[in-house]
Structure 1
């Protein structure tokens, strides 16, 4: 089932205990998921949207810190009981890229470990541009000594 259908099913999200939503495909073209803060108003779910395109040219890395901050806040919600649903249209490229960046930025995982961690949970395929951006992030964090060494 495509992630967009779960994102648009508020009752299911509430049953799953989701407290926060990070939509990495905000917008209203067929390539996006047309939800926003108003869509979740009154549900108790905190929303954050990133208007990202799933193209090699799109600079998703410009949103890595913003996404990681939102995921951090979401997980810390209610004394660490927060649950964040990170999604895009299919859950294949944009959202896994954002989760991999989060694991690198906040859990000091190198790009290979972070990617493998996400792949254990679901099939993913970040586009080549996003993979390049994750590799650039890896180089930057390694240079700054911000990655766990084996």
Structure 2
């Protein structure tokens, strides 16, 4: 199994409200000043966690220097992305692009992880994890930002008989995720039902959009309520996907009355579970989206 990247848990911070378009966050990143945090270090070769107390200087995070092999441009991109993730998603976890692809086996048929960065990652997924389907939730801008040669990855998937699918959703945007979940889960449910190999679901870091799709699938198709599906995944892969986006998508799928009460007016626990008839309705609507 691939390595899990290091993660940091912010105990307090000064954060502003989310931006409407994730692509606009870069110009505002350096305005944030974090006060303190705890670092949860995850071994690159195991699932063992170690909590380390850390401090911040007035100018920013005090960090040990990394390998000279990591370019300053790559470091800046990772720093920008992680700060954006914390402010936009209230997500305390970090993505370390320089450590390569990382992933977690959630069920025997489902893997959630970060973006494959090169064709060798596709070879690894095929040979080591029997992956037969890849569901990519990134927008074109995400892929370009990290300099990924997507076409070479798609071509390698074809050569190895892996079905590569895309269901883009905007990063750091719960509303975009909410609207995109039904089609993304439709693709995932179809892949798993085909039974030809494991399905690999990824976004950029595998901490927001991808786990949300996996949790929604487990909620709608695996007989779990939302809290059980959420805790099942996050206990294996520490992350912070938007539970509200999943609840909102469940509301949208389960109700067909044009005069229904708006989701925004419902209590926070609404649609954490569904009645049997609602679950069947959701499953039918999800399956009807195949091929769209």
Determine if the TM-score, normalized by the shorter chain, exceeds 0.5. yes
- The answer on whether the counterparts of 2:169 and 2:177 sit within 8 Å (CA) in structure 1 is yes
Report the CA distance between 1:71 and its aligned residue.
Answer: 1.8
Alignment partner of 1:121 is 2:236: yes
Distance 1:139 1:31, change over 3 A: farther
Helix, strand or coil at the partner of 2:131: coil
* Partner Cα separation in structure 1 for residue 271 and residue 147 of structure 2: 30
Identify the residue that residue 247 of structure 2 maps to in structure 1: 135
Q: Larger Rg: 1 or 2? A: 2
Structure 2: give runs of 5+ residues left out of the alignment: 6-100, 102-113, 251-269, 281-292
Identify the residue that residue 171 of structure 2 maps to in structure 1: 54
Distance 1:71 1:32, change over 3 A: farther
Identify the residue that residue 20 of structure 1 maps to in structure 2: 133
1 or 2 for the larger relative contact order (CA 8 Å, sep ≥6)?
Answer: 1
Identify the residue that residue 115 of structure 2 maps to in structure 1: 4
* Deviation larger for 11-20 or 32-41: 32-41
* Partner Cα separation in structure 1 for residue 175 and residue 225 of structure 2: 22
TM-score, with length taken from structure 2: 0.43
- The answer on whether the counterparts of 1:52 and 1:58 sit within 8 Å (CA) in structure 2 is no
* Deviation larger for 68-77 or 23-32: 23-32
The runs of at least 4 aligned residues of structure 1 exceeding 6 Å deviation read none
* Partner Cα separation in structure 1 for residue 150 and residue 215 of structure 2: 23
**1:52-131 matched pairs, under 5 angstroms:** 52-56=169-173, 58-77=175-194, 80-126=195-241, 130-131=242-243
* Partner Cα separation in structure 2 for residue 94 and residue 125 of structure 1: 9
**Count of matched residue positions in the alignment of Structure 1 and Structure 2:** 142
* Deviation larger for 84-93 or 20-29: 20-29
TM-score, with length taken from structure 1: 0.77
Distance 1:64 1:20, change over 3 A: same
Identify the residue that residue 146 of structure 1 maps to in structure 2: 279
- The answer on whether the counterparts of 1:26 and 1:34 sit within 8 Å (CA) in structure 2 is no
